[in-house]
Structure formats: structure tokens, C-alpha cells
Amino acid sequence: MRVMVIIKANAQSEAGEMPADDIFERMGNYNEALVNAGVMLSGEGIKESSKGKRLRLDGDRVSVTDGPFAETKELVAGFWIWDVKSMDEAVEWAKRCPTSAGQETNLELRPVFEMDDFGALRLGRVLAELVPDEAETHGLVALMAIQASRMGARTGRNGEPILLLDQNRARWDHTLIRHGLAALAKAERLGQELGPYTLQAAIAACHARARVAEDTDWGRIAALYDALAQVQPSPVVELNRAVAVSMAFGPAAGLALVDGLLEEPALRSYHLLPSVRGDFLMKLDRRAEARSEFRRAARLARNAQERAFLERRAQEAE
């Protein structure tokens, strides 16, 4: 579960005074321990309320007030987002928070909404309960759960995309992974022909089971994409299959498959086609061609973060 730890402001923080040097050092050690334990996902300090603004929205009326907000009894000075097994574990970590003698520190711990708290995954589980003998309903639940488990690791602090193999797997939601693997096992136990949801869930499970990226069973993933291409053929499935084949059998094998997709109308403006091709070319040390592909992918990208990522890939090919 994820927990937000809210650090309440005090007179010192509201006055804009920085903590003493010894508190800075102890807090640094504390944050390092949180990171090393795989608990800390993010954390920031917040400047005093005099630096902020408050918006009050009432229908079409909007009022903006400059700080400080003296009428507020409790202000926030900072926060952490922690990934813990239980609220009790969060409390134990919070008890270790460094404090100054004579300076009271108040922390509030609140559970963060998870993907499982919202519609699609919950509806999928309801559907699986209504038709428990239909393998694809369990496959759908498995796919949604495992995909949602990686939500917190897919982007960096500035919103930049993080590729699956580069993600910090300690930030994956392992509770959701366990739910997903259990649903996949139910689908497979039913002994029915595997449909597209169950096949995609099985692919996702290969990644979820690998403790580190190097442990990924790419041969099985390639075989699962072969099966998926039979039951749900599409250019995107073929592109993903090329990636799996490249990882299992080498970039030249993947490039041969991708080159067969270059004239595919559905992929003409799809930025991942030149991005994937550029990656294969880089691995084959065809850097000039790779640079051209990454630049084309950047032009096709639809958001600034992906565009910046692809432009960096192009620079790396210089």
C-alpha cells in the first residue's frame, strides 16, 4: 500500500527558518534509509504559506488569496509518499523521523488511493465473480492488475517516461502483482484456449516474476506474442513481438521483423515504430541510422516528455 506522510508546519517552518545542520544530516540519513528499504517513492519540503496562493472555487466564481493563511489551524511543511506493506509499518518508520529537542513535530499518515480503488479493476473483479468459469474474465483482471502495479514506476520526477527494463521494481505494487498472478492462475486452471486478455496477462506476468530485468524470460514472451498474433493479429502486436524476438534472439532478428512493418499504414504516425527501430540499430552499432530514427520518433511523439526522451536518445547516437 502507498501512504502519504504529511509533515505539519510549525512556527519555525512558517517563519521560513531552515532546520539546524544536525537535523539536515539526520534527515538525510533517514531519507537514505527509506530509499534503501524500498519504502520512499517521493518526498518534498514545502515553503512557508506566505509564499503560496489559495484558490476558492464556488461554481463559476473563483477567488485567489495570497498567503500567509493565518486562519488555517494546520499548515503543511512537507510530505513523503511511502510504499509499505501496512499502516503499522508506516507508523514504525514515522517513529524514527528525526526531530529537534524542544521543537514539536507532527506527522499525519493517510492511505493513498490505489488503482484497485477505482472503476475498471473493480468492475473486472465483479465480472469475474459473475462468470467464474470464463477464463478471459480472469485474464482481464490479471492483465489490469499487473499493468496497474507498474503505474508508480513508469515516469520520473519530472514526468519523463521510464522504460520497463529501467524501472525501479521496488516501486511496483507487489500486492497488485500477487492479485494479478492469482487471477492468471485461475484463468489457466480452467483449461480453456487462451484468449487475448489471458495471453497479454501471461506476458505481463513474465515481467512481474523477474526480480531484475536480466531475469526476464524473453523466449517465453516471444512465444506468447506468437500466440497472441494468431488470436488477435495487429501491427502493434507485431511490433511488440519484434521487441521480444530482439531480446530473445538478438537485435538483427528484431530488426528484420520491424522492417516488415515500415509500410504498415496503421503505424505510419506511430512514434514507437521508429523508436524501436532506432533502438535495434543502436545495438547493432549503426548509429547514424539510429539517430535518424530517434529524431523521426521525436517528431511524431505527442507529449513533451516523450519528445525530450527521444531527443536524448538521438544525442546518445551522435
pLDDT digits (tens, 9 = 90+) for 77-129: 888 888 887 888 888 888 888 887 667 778 888 887 665 555 677 778 888 88
Assigned domain for 76 exists: yes
Assigned domain for 196 exists: yes
Answer with the one of 216, 246, 265 that is the final residue of a domain: 216
What mean pLDDT is reported for the chain? 87
3-state secondary structure the chain: CEEEEEEECCHHHHCCCCCCHHHHHHHHHHHHHHHHCCCEEEEEECCCHHHCEEEEEECCEEEEEECCCCCCCCCEEEEEEEECCCHHHHHHHHHCCCCCCCCCCCEEEEECCCHHHCHHHHHHHHHHHHCCCCHHHHHHHHHHHHHHHCHHHCECCCCCECCHHHCCHHHCCHHHHHHHHHHHHHHHHCCCCCCHHHHHHHHHHHHHHCCCHHHCCHHHHHHHHHHHHHHCCCHHHHHHHHHHHHHHHCHHHHHHHHHCCCCCHHHCCCCHHHHHHHHHHHHCCCHHHHHHHHHHHHHHCCCHHHHHHHHHHHHHCC
Answer with the one of 111, 137, 159 that is the final residue of a domain: 111
Same domain? For 176 and 130 the reply is yes
Same domain? For 197 and 119 the reply is yes
Assigned domain for 171 exists: yes
Same domain? For 60 and 149 the reply is no
Answer with the one of 174, 195, 216 that is the final residue of a domain: 216
pLDDT at 58 over 80: no
User: Can you give the pLDDT at residue 129?
Assistant: 85
Assigned domain for 269 exists: no
User: Can you give the pLDDT at residue 290?
Assistant: 96
CATH code of the domain covering residue 21: 3.30.70.1060
Query: Residue length, the chain?
Result: 318
Number of domains in the chain: 2
User: Can you give the pLDDT at residue 114?
Assistant: 64
Same domain? For 151 and 171 the reply is yes
Assigned domain for 97 exists: yes
Torsion of CA 265, 269, 274, 277, to 10 degrees: -30
pLDDT band with cut points at 50, 70 and 90 for residue 300: very high
User: Can you give the pLDDT at residue 70?
Assistant: 59
Half-sphere exposure of 224 (CA within 13 A, CB side): 23
Assigned domain for 274 exists: no
Assigned domain for 30 exists: yes
The string of pLDDT tens digits covering residues 245-290 is 999 999 999 999 999 999 999 998 999 999 999 999 999 999 999 9
Assigned domain for 49 exists: yes
User: Can you give the pLDDT at residue 107?
Assistant: 86
How far apart (Å, rounded) are the C-alpha atoms in residues 293 and 273? Answer: 9
User: Can you give the pLDDT at residue 231?
Assistant: 95
Same domain? For 128 and 86 the reply is no
The string of pLDDT tens digits covering residues 147-190 is 988 888 888 766 778 889 999 998 898 888 999 999 999 999 99
Same domain? For 139 and 207 the reply is yes
64 lies in which domain range?
A: 2-111
User: Can you give the pLDDT at residue 154?
Assistant: 85
